[in-house]
Every structure is written in C-alpha cells, then in structure tokens.
Chains A and B, each alone.
Chain A
Amino acid sequence: MTETLQLRGRFTGVDLDQLVDWRVVRTWLYLGMFWLMVTPSIGVALSGLFNYPDYLGTTLGLTFGRLRPVHVNGVIFGAFSTLFIGECYYLVPRLCGVRVPWSQWAVPLAWVWSIALLAGLISLPFGTNHGLEAGELPLFAEIPMFIVVAAATAQFLMTVAQRLEPQLYVALWYLIAAFIWTTMNLVLGSFILPYTISGINSAAFHGLYIHYIVGLWITPAGYVLIYYFLPVSVRNPLYAHKLSLVGFWSLALFYPFVGIHHYLYSPIADWAETLAIVTSMLLIIPVWTVLVNFFGTVHGRWDGFGKNLPAKFLIMGSLMYLAGCFQGSVEALRSIQQPTHFSDFVISHSHLTVFGTFVVWAMGGLVYVWPRVCGRELWSFALGNWAFWLITVGISTMGLVLTAAGLQQGFEWMNGTEWVDTVVRMRPYWLVRTLSGISMDTGMSLLVINLMMTALTRPTEAREVAPAPGVAPVPAGGSAQ
C-alpha cells in the first residue's frame, strides 16, 4: 500500500472519482450506444442488396450509393467518435489529476454533435453529398461538428495543461495529437477541399484528408482508449512506456505521407505514390510496438482473463488490428494493389480496422466505464460474454470471407474472366458477409441491453467495488450477504 502511495506522487490524496463529471460521461455514452445500435445495422441492411438488389425497392434514396455514406460516416463519427469522446471525459481527468474545465458545456456539446450528425446522415439519402469520401456530410452538419471537436480539443488541452505531474502518459500524447490533428483536418476536408480544388489535385489532397480521418483521428483515438483501459482493466502497468512513445512518434512522422497510397496507378506522379508506399510499410513500426506492448501488459494476467470482459474486448481488437494493419500495409504495395483495388479485400480491411479494432476497443472502454458511471456491477456477465463472442465470430468471419472474396475476384479480373461471371461467384461470400454482420449486430444489441439493464436495476444501492479479475462477477440480485 505504501508503495502505491509513493508511486502516486502528486496524485496522493486525490479522489479520481471526484474529478470526473459523470453527467457528461453518461450523456456522451448514452448517445454513443444509440449510434452503436443504429449505424452498423445500416451496413447489414446494405449488404443484403448484394444478393437481393431489389429488396429495398427502387426508391433512389434507398439505393447503395445513397446509403453507403450513411453507414460509413455513421460508424466513424457516430458509433466510434461519440463513445471515444465520452470515454475521454472519463480518462483525461483521471490521468491529469484535475477536472475538465467548462464541463457544463460538455453535455450540450454531446447533443449538438449527435443532432448535427443525425441531420447530416438523414440528408444523405436525399442527395446532399460532397462526393468526398468520409467527408460526404453537408455543411449544416459539418459546421456544428467542427465546433464540437474544436471545443472538446480546447477543454482537453486545458486539462492537460493543468496536470499534476509534468510527465505525460502515452494515452495523453495520443489524445493531444488526435484532437489537434483532427481540428486541422476537418477544416481541410469540410471547408477547403470541397470548394477550392478539383480533379486529380483534389484526389491527391483527398488522400491526405481521408487518411487523416482514419490515421490521425480513429487510430490515435483508439490508442488513447486501449493505452488507458488495458492497463487499468488487467491491473498491470504498461509493459514498456518507452516503446509506446517510439510508436507514437513514428506515427507522427510517417502518417502525413501515406495518403496517396489510395491512388496508386492514378495520374498522380509515380514518385509521390512511391513515397506513400514506403511510409505505409514504415507504419508497421507503430503497429508492432503497440501490439508488443498490449500483450506484454497482459502478461502474467492471463489466468482469469476470460472473466475480464473489458480486457477481452481490448485484446480481441488488438488481434484484429494485427490482421487489419497487415492487410493495410501490403495493400499499399503496387503488386497487391493490382488485384485488390475495387475488390472486397478493401472492405475486409476497413471492417477489420474501423470496426474490429477501434469500435471494439471503444466497446471495451464502454464495458469498463459504464458500470462505474452507474455505480454498480455489470448486469449480466453471461450476456456480456455472449455479446463478446457474437461480435468476435461475426467480425472474424467477415474479415476472412471478404479477404477471400476480394482476392478471388481480383485475380479473376486480372485473368480476363467475364465480369458478370466473377460477380455471380461472389454471391455465397456476400451471403456469409450479411450473416456475420447480423451476428455482430446481435452482439452489439445484447451489449447495449446489458448496459441498459445495468443502468436501470437496483438504482438505490451504493456503488460496489469492482472485483479483481478472476473473481466471478456479482450476480444480478447482488451477492448473498
């Protein structure tokens, strides 16, 4: 105990729970769970169109092209970002030892964010679309969303500036980077790019923008979550803090250059494409440093790991990250790009990373934070475990079938097979993809039901201390006393 106190340094005597504005965390996470229920399901509905092209009717607004951006933007800015920002309001004050300033504004910020996004997503099927991938939302959604990100950035930077200990933990490094980069990037993608540059020049710049959304928002944001929630959920300090910082700085150095790998074999100059390929391969460095760190952190805690739901989500997401990022780096090679471009291989990559890794990490953080928000244990471990396995089986299957489908179809195209024949042979893969999506959606629904029950049951009882990993969770009615 004395050792713990010494290690806490200036944090000694600080009650971390007192620093968190629980109303803010709760609002953001409730809205995040709403998005978690809605926007991935749109993807499942869409995937049915591949096998049954007419099942949504012939309304223009319900065609693939109109609905796809609803799914993609909804998952990135809804399901992932809302949960992420909500979890930041939990972890930033705990890591800094001070409250988040102006936190009374954070509840309205959550509503502005979600209502603006909802309005934007509803307008997309009606044809308001910039035609800029991951930047499709109309201006009336982009302006409020930009303001929210900028305001949250200001809040978190102020918190970090007042921190008790000068040394920043790696999660804070990523947090600072993610928010600053994204505030700048949204200016580029929302307000400059759609109105100023056109043609191939726009494509080159768009490569920068879209890769910043995935690489300088989703990726560092996800790292914030896992670098905080994995050590606290397994109760082991981070395996190697120095290594994690190597990962951070290599991400900061290499990521600005990789965007053009989305446009290999395009009219963009070859040397610029080569630069993007080289830096894409260099990104293997941050990927491997984070993975070594995650598995090193859990080392010695594997017994009882099966009962540790947040850590299970985080480690499963890390395995998906390994697979997804390997795909991403090799896809950037010209010889792999040739068969895979325009094929389902790309869709496999985007689902393994955005969903399999980052949404899963956000769900891991959610499962960790939500019982603390409610001041009681998770309603049902068994239901949580079902949710975990339905999601795991779903995303693994989806990753595998789409990789196989993409490679098969890509090589058939290269061999000059009749295009329609290649499409017909994709149908069984697409059916399995829809089923795996249903599995993921069912899992997420069970998760949200579980968390709602956690919030609704036993409202009068005081907060219970979370059990150490390995100890069976307290059953729904409370432990026998």
Chain B
Amino acid sequence: MEILVILVPLALMLGLAGLVAFLWSLRSGQYDDLEGAAWRAIADDDPPQEAPAKR
C-alpha cells in the first residue's frame, strides 16, 4: 500500500501539469479566435457548395 505515497503525488502532479498547460495556453492567446480555428478545420480542398446552415 506504501505505493500510494508515490502514486497519489504522481497523479496530482499529472493533474497539475494539465492545469499549468491550460494556464499557459490561456496566456499565450490560444483562445483569442475560437471561431476561426473551427472554420479553418473545415476549409477543405473543395469549398462548401451552399451557405452553411444557420443556427
């Protein structure tokens, strides 16, 4: 059971690493243009033949 001494801090560190990565991405302007990123993903070789559906 003594493995929990390693396991729990390890899991906490991994969770923390996720948090740090998130805060970094927040500061580096990753979320400034969310719509643009979504649109670029579908801007494929053949453009849509009709206007995108209105929501």
Q: Which residues of A contact B (CB under 8 A)?
A: 1, 4, 7-9, 11, 15-17, 94-95, 165-171, 197, 200-201, 204-205, 208, 228, 231-232, 235-239, 241-242, 245, 249, 252-254, 256-257, 259, 267-269, 272, 296, 299-301, 465-466, 468
A8 touches B43 (CB 8 A): yes
A129 to B27, CA, bound (A): 47
Interface hub of A237, A253, A257, A465 (most chain B Cβ within 10 A)? A237
A16-B44, A249-B18, A253-B18 known; A168-B53 Cβ under 8 A: no
B30 touches A167 (CB 8 A): yes
Partner of B4, one of A237, A272, A296, A466: A272
B18 touches A252 (CB 8 A): yes
A interface, over-half SS: helix
> Which A residues touch B11, using CB under 8 A?
208, 256-257, 259
A254 to B14, CA, bound (A): 10
A237 touches B41 (CB 8 A): yes
A-B contacts, 6 of them at CB < 8 A, read: A166-B28, A167-B32, A169-B37, A237-B35, A252-B22, A257-B11
A122 to B21, CA, bound (A): 41
A20 to B1, CA, bound (A): 50
Residue of B nearest to A372 (CB): B45
A231 to B31, CA, bound (A): 19
Give the residues from 13 to 51 in chain B that come closer than 8 angstroms, CB to CB, to chain A: 14-15, 18-19, 21-22, 28-50
A1 to B50, CA, bound (A): 10
A231 touches B7 (CB 8 A): no
A232 to B38, CA, bound (A): 10
7 more contacts with CB within 8 A, not counting A200-B3, A256-B18, are A168-B37, A201-B2, A235-B42, A241-B38, A257-B15, A269-B4, A468-B49
> Which B residues touch A169, using CB under 8 A?
37-38, 40-41
Partner of A235, one of B19, B40, B48: B48
> Which A residues touch B38, using CB under 8 A?
169, 231, 237-238, 241
Residue of B nearest to A94 (CB): B44
A241 touches B42 (CB 8 A): no
Residue of A nearest to B49 (CB): A468
Q: Which are the 8 A-B pairs with shortest beta-carbon distances?
A: A300-B53, A252-B18, A201-B3, A256-B14, A241-B34, A238-B38, A256-B11, A241-B38
> Which B residues touch A468, using CB under 8 A?
48-50
A432 to B48, CA, bound (A): 44
A252-B18, A300-B55, A301-B53 known; A95-B41 Cβ under 8 A: yes
Residue of A nearest to B2 (CB): A201
> Which A residues touch B35, using CB under 8 A?
237, 241
A223 to B9, CA, bound (A): 28
A466 touches B46 (CB 8 A): yes
Q: How far is the CB of A242 from chain B (nearest CB, A)?
A: 5
A169 to B43, CA, bound (A): 13
Interface hub of B19, B21, B32, B40 (most chain A Cβ within 10 A)? B40
A465 touches B46 (CB 8 A): yes
> Which A residues touch B30, using CB under 8 A?
166-168
> Which B residues touch A259, using CB under 8 A?
11
> Which B residues touch A7, using CB under 8 A?
36, 39-40, 43
> Which B residues touch A254, using CB under 8 A?
15
B42 touches A231 (CB 8 A): yes
A50 to B41, CA, bound (A): 47
A253 to B22, CA, bound (A): 10
Q: How far is the CB of B2 from chain A (nearest CB, A)?
A: 7
A8 to B47, CA, bound (A): 11
A242 touches B40 (CB 8 A): no
Q: How far is the CB of B50 from chain A (nearest CB, A)?
A: 7
Q: How far is the CB of A235 from chain B (nearest CB, A)?
A: 5
Q: How far is the CB of B52 from chain A (nearest CB, A)?
A: 6
